[in-house]
Chains A and B, each alone.
Chain A
Amino acid sequence: MKGLLYLTFNYILYHRWKTAVMIACLFLTAILPVTISGLIRSFEKSIYTRSEMTPVVIGPEGSALDLTLRALYFNRGSGEDRLKTISMSEQEEVLRDGLAIAIPIHCLYEAKQFPIVATTGDYFRFRNLKIAQGEPLAILGECLLGADCAGELGLVPGDQLLSDRPKLLDLAGDYPLKMTVAGVLAKNGSPDDKGVFVDLKTAWIIQGLGHGHQDLQSPEQDENVVRQDGQIKALPSKVVPYTEITESNIESFHFHGDTSSFPVSAIIAVPKDIKSQTLLEARYQNNDRGVQFVRPVESIKEMMSVLLRVRQFFMINTILIAVSTLLLTALVLLLSLKLRHGERETMFKLGCRGGTIIALQVMEMLIVGVVATVLVLAVSWFGSSLAGSYFDSWITRGGS
């Protein structure tokens, strides 16, 4: 056996290019289907795990899948759909009769291309998110960063992060808000790792529904008032809203209107039991508020069924390529056997048994096969391990 191994390795080393080509052929044939299967499994696992943990999502009418991706993956989507929201009062509807816990999610803006996710403290408990550094959200204008977001941006508690301006050339549009990093969440291998979590009110300030500015009621600011009509004061352009919430100006921040009418992207509902879920679903059937009730698992299943149909076509194609490659490999081996006829004859004459000669050639094939397999598994494993976080951020970015 030792002698056979020695001979085999010498043969492989001597014919290293031929061996490398054979390994490359097998590797290239197997790598695509194996990796894609692995990636799809990883994607399925990742996406199903999150959707199964989120029993119900309530949000604006439209695509159930878009709503699911927005609520679970903070996908901002594109086009007009991304601006569709429901009223915050919908939370009360979900909470009514104690059928479920209602967790609002508002996800319209970004900071350095990471999604700003406005929610309540229930969300962190629901997703079991722990704080690794710093403190939880306490005051307006603070944010909690997901582990990947903090890592990629190099931010730690106490640093500041500016929200992205949604429309760069719209000078009359929303102003970016400089947020203070209150803490960093522990990594949990989900889209939460890439989130910038803020309080709902902070998001509404970014959206322009609330703001803070110089106190124009004080007598010393009268010179700044351009025109006054009763309680309504016209401000000159030099009085701009604050773009940062600090201890000194936090008192000046206020909202115009009833916050229960303010928008949220979706509400995650966690029903107490199946019966509560059914009752809740009934409540949303044929409602005229433009709100829909979605079971994320079903939306994801629908999406995956399309993906799996595509995979089937791909696999058929791959099988055909694999068969042709294996036939070519067999041809190469047969030609190799023919070329080595003299060697076999010599071995036989020198007293080697036929089985040993066959074992020698089988061992070479095995080594080629094993090396190709190991390479395929290693690359596939590496790809799959990267895929989890990649898929999450891919979905979060809206598939771009």
Chain B
Amino acid sequence: MIHIQNLDFRYPRAAFQLVINDLKIETGEKVAFVGPSGSGKTTLLNLISGITLARSGTIEVAGNHVGSLSDKQRRDFRVAKIGFVFQRFELIEYLNVSDNILFPFLINPSVDCTPEVRHRMMGLADTVGIASLLKRYPRQLSQGEQQRVAICRALILSPPLILADEPTGNLDPANKEIILDLMLSEFEARTRTFVVVTHDQSVAQKCDRMIDFSSFHHQLKTGEAVS
């Protein structure tokens, strides 16, 4: 699913540098990026999704060389291949739950919001237990409910890759456990590749593999992933 080779990335006028010689994440694999803040975990998610571009090296995701795609192709690639789950949920405050789940369709003319999509949305909402909240606005939801909406939004386009950036970081322990189990079961059921950035060891331990950025504060090299 993901194959990174000879990656060398640094931010302009910053000491930070991320170097990866060779990293593979297989289809259906659940991988956790762990390590201290500023160690490059979120940067790597951005590089994988094409939000940020590396100056050298190649990143291949689901058969696409991210660096060689045009802007439009990268946007289409993100729409078609990647579902995002964010720490702060990033729901749109002025849209109700159903519109938030369908948000990718509202902002991307390349995908049509067909009746089948709406049916799928209803199914997803039902699965994660928010079917009765579809007309509510984010401010009317608990944090756990908001993250469930974000999970539905990530899954609505049925992407083969899910990137989650500290998805349980804003949740209380009870909700964290529920949401994590929900995400993993949903992704497993749909055989999706799941990459999660987390500071939480309990989250990381539920993944198939953990890549620890802590010993490579400025530099991560291939093969130094743990477990």
Give the interface of A toward B (CB within 8 A): 1, 3-4, 6-7, 10-11, 13-15, 342-343, 345-353, 356
Cβ of B224 under 8 Å from chain A? no
Q: Which of A6, A13, A15, A353 has the most CB atoms of chain B within a 10 A radius of its CB?
A: A353
Residue of B nearest to A356 (CB): B107
Residue of A nearest to B107 (CB): A352
B22 to chain A, nearest CB (A): 26
Give every chain A residue within 8 A of B113 (Cβ-Cβ).
Answer: 3
Q: Is the interface of A mostly helix, strand, loop or mixed?
A: helix
> Could you jot down 27 A-B contacts, CB within 8 Å?
A1-B109, A3-B107, A4-B107, A6-B106, A7-B92, A7-B106, A7-B107, A10-B94, A10-B95, A10-B99, A11-B94, A14-B137, A342-B88, A342-B90, A347-B107, A348-B51, A349-B51, A349-B84, A350-B84, A350-B103, A350-B104, A350-B107, A350-B108, A351-B104, A353-B71, A353-B72, A353-B75
A350 touching B92 by the CB < 8 A rule?
Answer: no
Chain B count of residues within 8 A CB distance of the other chain: 27
A8 to chain B, nearest CB (A): 10
Which chain B residues in 44-60 approach chain A with CB under 8 Å? Answer: 49, 51
Residue of B nearest to A360 (CB): B107
B33 to chain A, nearest CB (A): 17
Cβ of B93 under 8 Å from chain A? yes
Q: Which of B72, B79, B93 has the most CB atoms of chain A within a 10 A radius of its CB?
A: B93
B49 touching A3 by the CB < 8 A rule?
Answer: no
Give every chain A residue within 8 A of B71 (Cβ-Cβ).
Answer: 353
B109 touching A346 by the CB < 8 A rule?
Answer: no
Q: How many A-B Cβ pairs are below 8 Å?
A: 59
Cβ of B213 under 8 Å from chain A? no
The one of B72, B75, B78, B105 that contacts A3, using a Cβ cutoff of 8 Å: B105
Q: How far is the CA of A348 from the CA of B113 in the complex (A)?
A: 19
A3 touching B76 by the CB < 8 A rule?
Answer: no
Cβ of B86 under 8 Å from chain A? yes
Residue of A nearest to B94 (CB): A14
Residue of B nearest to A357 (CB): B107
Give every chain B residue within 8 A of A345 (Cβ-Cβ).
Answer: 90
B75 touching A352 by the CB < 8 A rule?
Answer: yes
Give every chain A residue within 8 A of B90 (Cβ-Cβ).
Answer: 342, 345-346
Q: How far is the CA of A11 from the CA of B99 in the complex (A)?
A: 12
A201 to chain B, nearest CB (A): 76
A338 to chain B, nearest CB (A): 15
B94 touching A3 by the CB < 8 A rule?
Answer: no
B79 touching A350 by the CB < 8 A rule?
Answer: yes
Q: How far is the CA of A14 from the CA of B137 in the complex (A)?
A: 10
B86 touching A3 by the CB < 8 A rule?
Answer: no
Give every chain B residue within 8 A of A3 (Cβ-Cβ).
Answer: 105-109, 113
A350 touching B105 by the CB < 8 A rule?
Answer: no
Give every chain A residue within 8 A of B137 (Cβ-Cβ).
Answer: 14
Q: How far is the CA of A14 from the CA of B109 in the complex (A)?
A: 23
Q: How far is the CA of A349 from the CA of B93 in the complex (A)?
A: 17
Residue of B nearest to A8 (CB): B94
A366 to chain B, nearest CB (A): 17
B84 touching A343 by the CB < 8 A rule?
Answer: no
B47 to chain A, nearest CB (A): 13
A9 to chain B, nearest CB (A): 10
Q: Which of A4, A11, A349 has the most CB atoms of chain B within a 10 A radius of its CB?
A: A349
Give every chain B residue within 8 A of A11 (Cβ-Cβ).
Answer: 94
B123 to chain A, nearest CB (A): 21
Which chain B residues in 103-125 approach chain A with CB under 8 Å? Answer: 103-109, 113
Residue of A nearest to B139 (CB): A14
Residue of B nearest to A10 (CB): B94
A335 to chain B, nearest CB (A): 16
The one of A13, A343, A349, A353 that contacts B92, using a Cβ cutoff of 8 Å: A343
Q: How far is the CA of A351 from the CA of B159 in the complex (A)?
A: 13
Give every chain A residue within 8 A of B77 (Cβ-Cβ).
Answer: 351
Q: How far is the CA of A350 from the CA of B75 in the complex (A)?
A: 8
